[in-house]
């Protein structure tokens, strides 16, 4: 199975694009587990919640991959959790860092920050979007994983993402 991670800062269209790509390729997508976890928490999240969120994200990915065709789209990967944890708490649980090294996606789509910010109770940093984007890019380069940058408004983003996914599919027949 080929796997594509959609990654990047808050409010960059990760969920929207994940859903659109899954529909286009007639497969499933994995939503961001942290949204459900934090929504049900009833208190501010802590560093101790980060590992639970990461484990929940991976379990959800494993479960939904059983329903996928030969292609799976993942809205949010462990890189998102690492950056979030390091920014919020100054560190990231070792287990998450070890699992991040083992992630095996065929392609990462790094979402640009050129969409308008959409407020959401779980979003925290509208003024730091470029800062986070640059951080994601550095991390992807350090991990030496295949990634492409996807920017533009929604229709343009989808078109660019489809082109990159089609290229990946041609390279992995």
Tokens 């295949």, residue located: 146
Which residues are within 8 A (CB) of 16 and not within 5 positions of it... i.e. 6 or more apart? 154
Note the pLDDT tens digit of each residue in 58-106: 999 999 999 999 999 999 899 999 999 999 999 999 999 999 999 999 9
- pTM tops 0.85: yes
26 C-beta neighbours (distance < 10 Å), count: 9
CB 38 within 8 A of CB 45: yes
Q: Please give the DSSP secondary-structure letter assigned to residue 99.
A: H
Region 112-125: mean pLDDT is: 73
Cα gap 82→106, rounded to integer Å: 20
Q: Is 25 helix (H, G, I), strand (E, B) or coil?
A: coil
Superfamily of domain 2-171: P-loop containing nucleotide triphosphate hydrolases (3.40.50.300)
**pLDDT in the model for residue 10:** 84
Residue 46 has pLDDT above 90, yes or no: yes
**pLDDT in the model for residue 49:** 96
Note the pLDDT tens digit of each residue in 119-155: 666 556 767 889 999 999 999 999 999 999 999 988 9
Q: Residue 92 corresponds to which tokens in the numbers above? A: 């990231």
Helix (H) or strand (E) holding 111: strand 107-111
CB 37 within 8 A of CB 52: yes
Please, what is the average pLDDT of the chain? 93
């Amino acid at each position: 199975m080929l796997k594509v991670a959609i990654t990047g800062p808050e409010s960059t269209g990760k969920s929207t694009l994940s859903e659109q790509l899954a529909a286009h390729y007639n497969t499933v997508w994995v939503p961001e587990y942290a949204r459900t976890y934090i929504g049900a928490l009833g208190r501010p999240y802590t560093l101790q919640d980060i590992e639970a969120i990461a484990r929940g994200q991976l379990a959800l990915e494993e479960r939904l991959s059983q329903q996928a065709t030969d292609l799976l789209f993942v809205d949010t990967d462990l890189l998102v959790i690492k950056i979030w944890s390091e920014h919020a708490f100054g560190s990231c649980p070792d287990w998450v860092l070890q699992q991040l090294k083992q992630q095996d996606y065929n392609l990462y789509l790094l979402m640009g920050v050129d969409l308008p910010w959409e407020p959401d109770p779980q979003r925290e940093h509208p003024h730091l979007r470029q800062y986070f984007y640059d951080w994601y890019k550095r991390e992807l380069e350090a991990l030496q994983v295949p990634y492409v940058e996807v920017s533009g408004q929604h229709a343009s983003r989808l078109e660019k993402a489809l082109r990159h996914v089609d290229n990946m599919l041609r390279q992995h027949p």
